[in-house]
Structure 1
Amino acid sequence: MIVNDISLKKIAAIFEFLSVFIIGILISVSACCADAKSTKDNYLNISDIRVTIAKRIVEDEHDISLRQMVFNLIDLKKGEKFSPALLDESIRMLQQSGKFKEINVDSKEEDGKFILFFHLTPYRWIKDIRIYGRYPVFERDVLAAMTIYPGNAFVQEVLEKQEAEIVKLYKNEGYIEPKVSVVADEDPADGNYIIKVKIDKGPFYSLKTIAFTGNKNFSATRLKWKMKIWREALFPASFGRFIEAGFKKDVDELTKFYRSKGFADVEIQPVIKKDAKNHTVSISLLINEGPCYRTLFSGNKAFWDSTLKKDLILLRDGNRNGLGLKRSIRKIEESYQSSGYLSAKIKAEEEPHPGKDDIRTIRIIIEENQKTIVDSIDIKGNVSYPESRIRKQMLTETGGIYGSGIFVPAIFEEDISSIRAFYISEGFMSPEVKQELEWNRDRSRVKIRITINEGVRTMVSSVKIAGSKVLSSDDALKLITLKEKQPFQKYMIGKDENALSRLISDKGYPYVKVKGEIEVATDRKQAEITYRITDGIYVSMGEVYSKGNLRTKDRVIKKEMEIRTGEPFSLEKTLLSQRNIRNLDIFKEVGFKTLGLKEEKDKINLMVDIEEQKPYFAELGFGYESSKEFYARTGIGDHNLLGLNKYGWVSGEISQTGYKSEIGISEPRFLDTYTSASMKIYAEQVEEFNENFGYKALGASLGLSPKAIKNFTPGLNFSLERRDQYRLDSSLPLGASISEEEYQKRSILVVTPSLTYNTRDSFIRPKKGVYSSLHVDVSKGLENSFDDFIKYRYDLRYYYTPVNRLTLAFLGRAGYIKAYGNKGQVPQDQLFFLGGTFDVRGFEENLLRFDSAGDAIGGRCAVSGSMEARIDLGANVEMTLFYDTGSVSKAFVDAGSDEFRSSAGLGLRYITPIGPIGILYGHKLDREKGESSGQIHFSVGYTF
């Protein structure tokens, strides 16, 4: 008993201890929770927020704008209670801006005041990338290999990666061990960095020899000309540099060449031997030509042989294990099937050539049989619509005067789908369309039976709009397409949801949600539609910030915004703004980041991330053209003058016909409109070939061009010019104007409205499209009436490419001058002249019409036309066949003829990245006594 009492006392003592311990823990936890709640409810009000921009000795405007941006992005405000959640959100917004390398936040309590400190270290930016020793690789290719560009945040660690990428680029260009160093120099003026890329290319492997083995049917010389790597080795600028990637492409091209000539089984094994000591490469190409396939067709009446040969896959992809021939037969079968020959049978037989293993004649035997013709189409079950309405949904038709009646299974399957889709669009929710085909014995005729089970037609009995405070029911009902008493179309619900969402979103409610609910009656004849809308909160547009535009002013970017600060936020206007900025010619890339949209904030700030193009350019060129013979030109300019999206330039040209120099500036957004303006001042002297006069001019012009609308570009140009015309002979020639007054200095004001229509696919090498322009010069002489006239100029060009490698080009030009001055005369330097490189070839410059002294005669009317066939010969070479004609009439002297004169000729052009360089010969078709038979012309660019 004593033992039991002691045990009970011990147990009670332990129980008492545990009870006190547990109660103590519960009290402590309660106290902690109470303290936590008290702390949460009693955060201090923020008395001040202070922002410091690190690593700045002297505060500048950039720091001030950064500080303003920080205050705008953070959610914590002076005078409001501090919130850890809002602090986290603020830090996240600052990080998303991409402006800051480091973000540190601290706080301090002084005399009951709670102060927040934001210590920010902004990124330093890459302001320029300069490349040294890049030749012969283009600068753009080096920049494309790099992962950084001007406007990026500078990060030291990524420089090594740039070195590796550039080394890889040069190795691919044939250099053995190129060395690249990428270093960053800080500009003390603004703390940003200039990246300097220094390239030591080192030696490269040059092409020494190319040898062929096994080429029985084509000479080594012919095969070499098919290889780009060998052709380039002929030019001194390339030094015969061996590029392995280019060599692999050449091997592929040789393989395609062999296959196109019938050698479907050809195999080419390249062997490359590198001499590391002399840095040369010797190439051996082991060619197993295989047999030459001669493909013959028999039994084909519906298709020409040339048409069927396009389906011979073995001549394009080879004939490994006979698969190429099998695929070719299948392709021919498909061609016959799609033309209605459903019973066509195609097989291939090889004709023997005893003793000639190098030739395989494959005869493809075609048993076309008859086309399958639709005898009749019987449609049943169509209660709601007449048969004619159903037939309009079909491409398959019976034979007759207006229809071929050919039956193509694939097209017929599409017809069935079209009928079903038609019924669905008319409110039939579950239509059934069944088909039955009845063939005759040889499957040359077929009867079609289509049975339609329309089902129940569902009409919209009511449409309701619920929940929106932004959009009235009347406005919403006007917007949606699925309206009351219309056939119910379930797929239209989604379209109406999107339309309502877009409209409400553009009013400043981007978080709107629209859900279309459908209630279909038991008999499925009626459907009630309710669009339930949750507007969400109103959202306003905040500030627009940009990064990467180290040169371009912020106001240039903000000018292109379709939405302003404080306006309702609109995603559609934001996308339009992005398009506007991308369309500026001063940026390579433009990206938009909406700060706060994902977090569903009530104010959205926009960050525009930009990669600028290099604005400066300098050019120097010289050459020879028949119209001006030897010439040289130069120019410098800035596409982003002063960072204001203005184009400024200075240029000059001198040739054997004179000189011209000009300085100009262009503004794409004249007076903040979508009209571009271009102003220039120029001086020139012109002495055209075969003309007996010349002139000097000093002038200024202003051109205005509104934004193009559907390929139409209107324009308006004003020019004021001081012109001095002079004789090239001491005596007055026959072709000159009667009055001496035109040889006095004249001041001329010209106003030129114009309209251009352009659908060409390329400015440099058009292959299709139309170009048309009309210019009307309204000229007024300020000191006499000689320059009182109206000059009309019309230009029409058409390009058409009927088959690959052939482009047909047509040109028509007309000009007319109507004098309205007292004299009724027009100075010679304003008349039209024809003949030469750019209009009627085969004639010397301006000598389509001339006098007895051999001097050019101009007229108040000129008409010319040209036709060209441009044939692509490959290897960037183009052959041209042309015909030109023209007439100069209404001359002031009785010499020459008003009749049309014509020429025809041919030429060769070499196509470069900036346009063609050509030599052409034109032969006069109506040569007059004493004239040459024709003329050779050199030209840069197309004549039209």
Structure 2
Amino acid sequence: MSVFIIGILISVSACCADAKSTKDNYLNISDIRVTIAKRIVEDEHDISLRQMVFNLIDLKKGEKFSPALLDESIRMLQQSGKFKEINVDSKEEDGKFILFFHLTPYRWIKDIRIYGRYPVFERDVLAAMTIYPGNAFVQEVLEKQEAEIVKLYKNEGYIEPKVSVVADEDPADGNYIIKVKIDKGPFYSLKTIAFTGNKNFSATRLKWKMKIWREALFPASFGRFIEAGFKKDVDELTKFYRSKGFADVEIQPVIKKDAKNHTVSISLLINEGPCYRTLFSGNKAFWDSTLKKDLILLRDGNRNGLGLKRSIRKIEESYQSSGYLSAKIKAEEEPHPGKDDIRTIRIIIEENQKTIVDSIDIKGNVSYPESRIRKQMLTETGGIYGSGIFVPAIFEEDISSIRAFYISEGFMSPEVKQELEWNRDRSRVKIRITINEGVRTMVSSVKIAGSKVLSSDDALKLITLKEKQPFQKYMIGKDENALSRLISDKGYPYVKVKGEIEVATDRKQAEITYRITDGIYVSMGEVYSKGNLRTKDRVIKKEMEIRTGEPFSLEKTLLSQRNIRNLDIFKEVGFKTLGLKEEKDKINLMVDIEEQKPYFAELGFGYESSKEFYARTGIGDHNLLGLNKYGWVSGEISQTGYKSEIGISEPRFLDTYTSASMKIYAEQVEEFNENFGYKALGASLGLSPKAIKNFTPGLNFSLERRDQYRLDSSLPLGASISEEEYQKRSILVVTPSLTYNTRDSFIRPKKGVYSSLHVDVSKGLENSFDDFIKYRYDLRYYYTPVNRLTLAFLGRAGYIKAYGNKGQVPQDQLFFLGGTFDVRGFEENLLRFDSAGDAIGGRCAVSGSMEARIDLGANVEMTLFYDTGSVSKAFVDAGSDEFRSSAGLGLRYITPIGPIGILYGHKLDREKGESSGQIHFSVGYTF
């Protein structure tokens, strides 16, 4: 957080002197005049400054002057964070006392521009600084930024970086643009890395374990030596050695820097120590692999034998928690004459029998049957329905649960004692529980006193402790808080609630009185903001759950803060309640904002099998005109066509929590292996209400002018295809949808469900070819049974029902399967094809996939998959309605924005003339 130095020049003593007419009698204030130092221009944020000042100061025209109120007024102006200087003066003219407030507002940092930052990300440079756009400009704070950025670049491996931070005043508005110029200078690069003492692993293998060595293989600044990264590499090498059994390994790094040539030579002195071979004997309850997880020495080392001792204790705890109370564990070292580099540790386990609960005898339970007491316990006797294993830690929790149960039922001081009777080898235990219930205290009466805001009836409905119910002392605090919240939300934030208890001498009854002091009524004042140099104030006020003049509510204030924080246009949002601490009768709110950078430009290109080479670009503004609207222009071209669009999105359509997105687009599509293409020009409007419990409904409208054409006009039309299909068509489509999503990640899901249903109600405006209803259903399930393995399942179904008088559906509206994103192993769209090798679509399509995604480490994932699908209800008599399947495997590299993969699918039911399989390149998961 930035530190602001505020200069305050206040003539308080002079004001007080001028205001006195007698010794302790102050004059009435005849006038209050506010002058604000002239800015270059007045914008939306500055015009209201004067009104804000009058609203924040407690001194009012016509009222008596008060030094205390003057101090309070100055404090409020300071807390607003809007003013660099505050100067208060006074003047007496003709018996009239006039107050003058001379205020100098801050100028603001409107932007921070960074030059020469590469290869460090801009966000990392900004994070190192203590200022951000929207902060007040303070020269002294600005001067501290250079040192912070220099420190960052030194940590990144640069030797003597030079940083210049200057502020340029924008003549248009008087605010400042901060320019950060970075001259990184030379950096240390890794020259050599040598290992000594590595007897069991080659230097090459150890080098590949070190990130600094791998990065040194890359040119330019990618291979710079970063000391913090080197320390992590040494730690990783230590972990590697320990995982291989070298628990006593010690690695001593030696760094030699050549300042002249800017190189670093590293020597790693390795004392491997002996290799521990750990064997287990006598263990029947646990596998060796399970017990190895308890070997702390292979994770944290074995200095002075402590790692082995801790490992044995850990194994003992595992046995204890499974009921083996008599288990004995010891470690013996097996000798290896002449081999000092090997230590074989045999962990000998004498499990003995599990300790079983023979019986549970409960006495003293007068008020409740034994069955009710047993429900509070996890410990149980052995039998058909229970294991009967005795675990001391769980039994102690049982005793606490019984005690807590009695307290919740009104017994203020219950005693629960335990007695355990063991057999000779401690394999059986008898449990005796003796309960001294004590006196049960019931609530005899509940009174509400002192509140004029809340009626007794409403208060009694709210509280938990009610008349004729068991008395629970700990619930008093909860009821106090509940009453406080309710009254506070009615505009009384200074309410005080105190619960008083009067217990009868026989402790059988308790009278409760909640004494309430409402405090003064407090109203919501004005909402001010700072830091939003681009965003309009009305955008912020729209998110407020509480309006000016309404009863002040802390709960609604917190909800408002959450609403504003949820806006994607802000990076940080802070609320300051002006006057709450001082217990004023009107609370003004200051919203402190750090805006996100709204503009973006992107350019990308790549290759994937479904469209081969492609390039895309786009520009946009996430805060268009400062109105929290998202506007964009984008385009993509590939070997299957092009698409361009311009759009605008409104997250609060008609001031509701429904987002609206409107776009105009033009596209041309020529899918692989299809004998037709189409051009389209259209517009769409999509509405999406706020998700409710993972459900997101949607409604989309689109109007499109479509022109379907043949790719080879010399070929004759099929018998089922009309020439009218190749005339221009106008189509209106209404699409309601419902989506359910519980996935843990959008980019790389490992658990959860995704399901969506879309229904396209299509109407041709010039003919009935596009008169149909298209149903599309998608179901995905992700499950991770063990670490590094995720199972993914996909089911898709689509169906088209024509309602036009022709009963025909154009080719460009049918379903096609085969290829990268549905049934792999087949060429794009060729799951079903005719004798000429052209894809055939149908009015019905069903497909499914199963994947096993295995994390191999180093951001590499191996995939095993099985796909199947069927295209049916075709308009031509070619191909088959039968399901066709494939299986295959692939590799994916996981990037921060998703995986890039190469996969091979093998056809399981290859037809004559088909290839055995297909290679697919994909960007992102296929599902």
Task: Give the TM-score normalised by the residue count of structure 2.
Answer: 0.97
**Is 1:346 equivalent to 2:335 in the alignment?**
no
Indicate if the aligned counterparts of 2:854 and 2:862 stay in contact, CA closer than 8 A. Answer: yes
RMSD: 5.6
Query: Residues 842 and 525 (structure 1 numbering): CA distance in 2 closer, same or farther, change over 3 Å?
Result: same
When structure 1 is superposed on structure 2, of 559-568 and 29-38 the one drifting more is 29-38
When structure 1 is superposed on structure 2, of 919-928 and 730-739 the one drifting more is 730-739
Cα deviations by residue, 1:90-147 (Å, 9 ceiling, x for unpaired): 0010001010011000111111111110000111110000000000000000001101
How far does residue 735 in structure 1 lie from its aligned partner after superposition? 6.2
Where 1:302 maps in the other structure, the secondary structure is coil
How far does residue 233 in structure 1 lie from its aligned partner after superposition? 2.3
How far does residue 209 in structure 1 lie from its aligned partner after superposition? 1.9
How far does residue 908 in structure 1 lie from its aligned partner after superposition? 1.1
When structure 1 is superposed on structure 2, of 755-764 and 652-661 the one drifting more is 755-764
When structure 1 is superposed on structure 2, of 783-792 and 283-292 the one drifting more is 283-292
Counterpart-to-counterpart distance in 2, 1:22 and 1:557:
27
How far does residue 211 in structure 1 lie from its aligned partner after superposition? 1.8
Counterpart-to-counterpart distance in 2, 1:373 and 1:553:
71
Query: Residues 516 and 378 (structure 1 numbering): CA distance in 2 closer, same or farther, change over 3 Å?
Result: same
Query: Residues 61 and 823 (structure 1 numbering): CA distance in 2 closer, same or farther, change over 3 Å?
Result: closer
Cα deviations by residue, 1:19-51 (Å, 9 ceiling, x for unpaired): 999999999999999999972553221111111
Indicate if the aligned counterparts of 2:21 and 2:27 stay in contact, CA closer than 8 A. Answer: no
| Misfit runs of 4+, over 4 Å | 18-38, 57-62, 732-737
Indicate if the aligned counterparts of 1:182 and 1:195 stay in contact, CA closer than 8 A. Answer: yes
Match of 2:530 among 547, 556, 560: 547
Cα deviations by residue, 1:678-723 (Å, 9 ceiling, x for unpaired): 0000000000000110000000000000000111110000000000
Where 1:902 maps in the other structure, the secondary structure is strand
Indicate if the aligned counterparts of 2:40 and 2:174 stay in contact, CA closer than 8 A. Answer: no
Indicate if the aligned counterparts of 2:18 and 2:90 stay in contact, CA closer than 8 A. Answer: no
Counterpart-to-counterpart distance in 2, 1:27 and 1:196:
34
Counterpart-to-counterpart distance in 1, 2:893 and 2:15:
87
Counterpart-to-counterpart distance in 2, 1:600 and 1:785:
71
Counterpart-to-counterpart distance in 2, 1:453 and 1:99:
66
Mind listing any 5+ residue stretches in structure 2 that lack a counterpart? none
Counterpart-to-counterpart distance in 1, 2:824 and 2:304:
56
Indicate if the aligned counterparts of 1:737 and 1:828 stay in contact, CA closer than 8 A. Answer: no
Indicate if the aligned counterparts of 2:6 and 2:84 stay in contact, CA closer than 8 A. Answer: no
How far does residue 271 in structure 1 lie from its aligned partner after superposition? 1.5
When structure 1 is superposed on structure 2, of 48-57 and 257-266 the one drifting more is 48-57
Q: Structure 2 matches for 1:526-605, cutoff 5 A?
A: 526-605=509-588
**Is 1:697 equivalent to 2:684 in the alignment?**
no
Larger Rg: 1
Query: Residues 926 and 57 (structure 1 numbering): CA distance in 2 closer, same or farther, change over 3 Å?
Result: closer
In the comparison of the two structures, how many residue pairs are matched?
A: 927
Counterpart-to-counterpart distance in 2, 1:408 and 1:597:
53
Match of 2:915 among 923, 926, 932: 932
Query: Residues 27 and 746 (structure 1 numbering): CA distance in 2 closer, same or farther, change over 3 Å?
Result: closer
Counterpart-to-counterpart distance in 2, 1:658 and 1:121:
59
How far does residue 738 in structure 1 lie from its aligned partner after superposition? 2.1
Indicate if the aligned counterparts of 2:4 and 2:136 stay in contact, CA closer than 8 A. Answer: no
Counterpart-to-counterpart distance in 1, 2:746 and 2:7:
88
Cα deviations by residue, 1:188-226 (Å, 9 ceiling, x for unpaired): 111110000000000001112222222222222221221
Query: Residues 735 and 392 (structure 1 numbering): CA distance in 2 closer, same or farther, change over 3 Å?
Result: farther
When structure 1 is superposed on structure 2, of 694-703 and 807-816 the one drifting more is 807-816
Indicate if the aligned counterparts of 1:232 and 1:238 stay in contact, CA closer than 8 A. Answer: no
Query: Residues 833 and 733 (structure 1 numbering): CA distance in 2 closer, same or farther, change over 3 Å?
Result: farther
Indicate if the aligned counterparts of 2:9 and 2:86 stay in contact, CA closer than 8 A. Answer: no
When structure 1 is superposed on structure 2, of 240-249 and 216-225 the one drifting more is 216-225
Query: Residues 463 and 239 (structure 1 numbering): CA distance in 2 closer, same or farther, change over 3 Å?
Result: closer
Query: Residues 19 and 827 (structure 1 numbering): CA distance in 2 closer, same or farther, change over 3 Å?
Result: closer
Indicate if the aligned counterparts of 1:340 and 1:372 stay in contact, CA closer than 8 A. Answer: yes
When structure 1 is superposed on structure 2, of 227-236 and 778-787 the one drifting more is 227-236
Indicate if the aligned counterparts of 2:495 and 2:516 stay in contact, CA closer than 8 A. Answer: yes
Indicate if the aligned counterparts of 1:53 and 1:63 stay in contact, CA closer than 8 A. Answer: no
Where 1:576 maps in the other structure, the secondary structure is helix
Query: Residues 570 and 368 (structure 1 numbering): CA distance in 2 closer, same or farther, change over 3 Å?
Result: same
Counterpart-to-counterpart distance in 2, 1:805 and 1:27:
66
Name the residue aligned to 1:919.
902
Query: Residues 907 and 568 (structure 1 numbering): CA distance in 2 closer, same or farther, change over 3 Å?
Result: same
How far does residue 232 in structure 1 lie from its aligned partner after superposition? 2.0
Query: Residues 638 and 241 (structure 1 numbering): CA distance in 2 closer, same or farther, change over 3 Å?
Result: same
When structure 1 is superposed on structure 2, of 250-259 and 567-576 the one drifting more is 250-259
Query: Residues 27 and 79 (structure 1 numbering): CA distance in 2 closer, same or farther, change over 3 Å?
Result: closer
Cα deviations by residue, 1:319-340 (Å, 9 ceiling, x for unpaired): 1111111111100000000000
Query: Residues 368 and 82 (structure 1 numbering): CA distance in 2 closer, same or farther, change over 3 Å?
Result: same
Query: Residues 25 and 816 (structure 1 numbering): CA distance in 2 closer, same or farther, change over 3 Å?
Result: closer
Indicate if the aligned counterparts of 2:12 and 2:89 stay in contact, CA closer than 8 A. Answer: no
Where 1:451 maps in the other structure, the secondary structure is strand
Cα deviations by residue, 1:703-760 (Å, 9 ceiling, x for unpaired): 0000001111100000000000000112446768421111110000000011111111
Indicate if the aligned counterparts of 2:18 and 2:91 stay in contact, CA closer than 8 A. Answer: no
When structure 1 is superposed on structure 2, of 212-221 and 378-387 the one drifting more is 212-221
Indicate if the aligned counterparts of 1:734 and 1:851 stay in contact, CA closer than 8 A. Answer: no
Cα deviations by residue, 1:141-192 (Å, 9 ceiling, x for unpaired): 0001101000001110112211111101111111000000000001111111
Counterpart-to-counterpart distance in 2, 1:93 and 1:457:
54
Indicate if the aligned counterparts of 1:206 and 1:242 stay in contact, CA closer than 8 A. Answer: yes
How far does residue 56 in structure 1 lie from its aligned partner after superposition? 3.1
Query: Residues 294 and 175 (structure 1 numbering): CA distance in 2 closer, same or farther, change over 3 Å?
Result: same
How far does residue 64 in structure 1 lie from its aligned partner after superposition? 3.0
Counterpart-to-counterpart distance in 2, 1:22 and 1:909:
53
Indicate if the aligned counterparts of 1:274 and 1:281 stay in contact, CA closer than 8 A. Answer: yes
Indicate if the aligned counterparts of 1:132 and 1:197 stay in contact, CA closer than 8 A. Answer: yes
Counterpart-to-counterpart distance in 1, 2:813 and 2:696:
26
Counterpart-to-counterpart distance in 1, 2:677 and 2:6:
114
Counterpart-to-counterpart distance in 1, 2:781 and 2:133:
42
Query: Residues 47 and 573 (structure 1 numbering): CA distance in 2 closer, same or farther, change over 3 Å?
Result: same
Query: Residues 491 and 733 (structure 1 numbering): CA distance in 2 closer, same or farther, change over 3 Å?
Result: farther
Where 1:22 maps in the other structure, the secondary structure is coil
Cα deviations by residue, 1:851-877 (Å, 9 ceiling, x for unpaired): 111111111111111111111111111
How far does residue 494 in structure 1 lie from its aligned partner after superposition? 0.5
Cα deviations by residue, 1:489-532 (Å, 9 ceiling, x for unpaired): 00110000000000000000000000000000000000000000
Where 1:452 maps in the other structure, the secondary structure is strand
Query: Residues 35 and 842 (structure 1 numbering): CA distance in 2 closer, same or farther, change over 3 Å?
Result: closer
Indicate if the aligned counterparts of 2:496 and 2:518 stay in contact, CA closer than 8 A. Answer: yes
Query: Residues 520 and 735 (structure 1 numbering): CA distance in 2 closer, same or farther, change over 3 Å?
Result: farther
**Is 1:249 equivalent to 2:232 in the alignment?**
yes
Name the residue aligned to 1:309.
292
Indicate if the aligned counterparts of 1:764 and 1:914 stay in contact, CA closer than 8 A. Answer: yes
Name the residue aligned to 2:799.
816
Cα deviations by residue, 1:635-658 (Å, 9 ceiling, x for unpaired): 000000000000000000000000
Where 2:2 maps in the other structure, the secondary structure is helix
Indicate if the aligned counterparts of 1:735 and 1:855 stay in contact, CA closer than 8 A. Answer: no
Indicate if the aligned counterparts of 1:510 and 1:570 stay in contact, CA closer than 8 A. Answer: yes
Counterpart-to-counterpart distance in 2, 1:923 and 1:38:
101
Counterpart-to-counterpart distance in 2, 1:273 and 1:769:
51
Indicate if the aligned counterparts of 2:10 and 2:86 stay in contact, CA closer than 8 A. Answer: no
Query: Residues 509 and 730 (structure 1 numbering): CA distance in 2 closer, same or farther, change over 3 Å?
Result: same
Indicate if the aligned counterparts of 1:735 and 1:851 stay in contact, CA closer than 8 A. Answer: no
Name the residue aligned to 1:626.
609
How far does residue 358 in structure 1 lie from its aligned partner after superposition? 1.4
Indicate if the aligned counterparts of 1:206 and 1:239 stay in contact, CA closer than 8 A. Answer: no
Counterpart-to-counterpart distance in 1, 2:2 and 2:909:
126
When structure 1 is superposed on structure 2, of 179-188 and 222-231 the one drifting more is 222-231
Counterpart-to-counterpart distance in 2, 1:97 and 1:610:
13
How far does residue 239 in structure 1 lie from its aligned partner after superposition? 4.2
Cα deviations by residue, 1:874-931 (Å, 9 ceiling, x for unpaired): 1111111111111111111111111111111111111111111111111111111111
Where 1:239 maps in the other structure, the secondary structure is helix
Counterpart-to-counterpart distance in 1, 2:44 and 2:387:
78
Counterpart-to-counterpart distance in 1, 2:107 and 2:2:
64
Indicate if the aligned counterparts of 2:629 and 2:649 stay in contact, CA closer than 8 A. Answer: yes
Query: Residues 324 and 109 (structure 1 numbering): CA distance in 2 closer, same or farther, change over 3 Å?
Result: same
Cα deviations by residue, 1:369-405 (Å, 9 ceiling, x for unpaired): 0000000000000000000000000000000000000
